[in-house]
Each structure stands twice: as C-alpha cells, then as structure tokens.
Amino acid sequence: MQFVISVAVAMLAFGLNVPLGMWRVTTRKFTVQWFVAIHLAVPLIYLIRSSSGIPAWMAPVLIAAAVLGQLAGGILKNARPQPHDKTM
C-alpha cells in the first residue's frame, strides 16, 4: 500500500508542476515570477509527503517527478500553436 501512495504522490508532484512549467516558460529567468513558478508546489508536495507517511528517502523521487513535470509543461507550452502563429 505504501508503494501505491508513493506513486500517487509522485504523479501528483508531476501533475502539479505541468501548469507551473507552462507558466515558467513565459517568464524571464531569475525573476520573482520564475522563482515562484518553480517553487510554488514544493510546500504542498512536502505536506502531502509528510502527512501520508512517505519516508524521506523518497524525496529525490518526488523532486525528479516535479522537475519532469516542469519540463513537460515547458515542452507542452512551446509545442502549442500561439494565437499569432499563421501556420495555415
């Protein structure tokens, strides 16, 4: 059961970071908005991890899931045609 909870929290970390990654790519690097987009989900993921009894050694897995979510969000945002694109 602990494994299922760990996987669910990792998926949540990924899912929370996809929209944040989409936001991150629209901001300038090293600005307040960029920093917030990267770190906004961290306290929530920490609270969920600690309250669900997931051991601390799972933290790197959750961080990796969050980073992958950020990257996926950035890729999705850049792959979507923007309103000013005239591809047709």
Which tens digit of pLDDT belongs to each residue from 5-57?
999 999 999 999 999 999 999 999 999 999 999 999 999 999 999 999 999 89
Residue appearing with tokens 């996809």: 18
Quick check: 81 pLDDT over 90? no
Radius of gyration of the chain (CA): 15
Res 87: pLDDT:
62
| Amino acid identity for residue 37 in this structure | A
What the block records as the tokens of 19 is 């929209």
* Pick from 37, 30, 32: nearest CA to 71: 37
* Confidence (pLDDT) at 79: 87
Handedness of CA 29, 22, 41, 52 (dihedral sign): negative
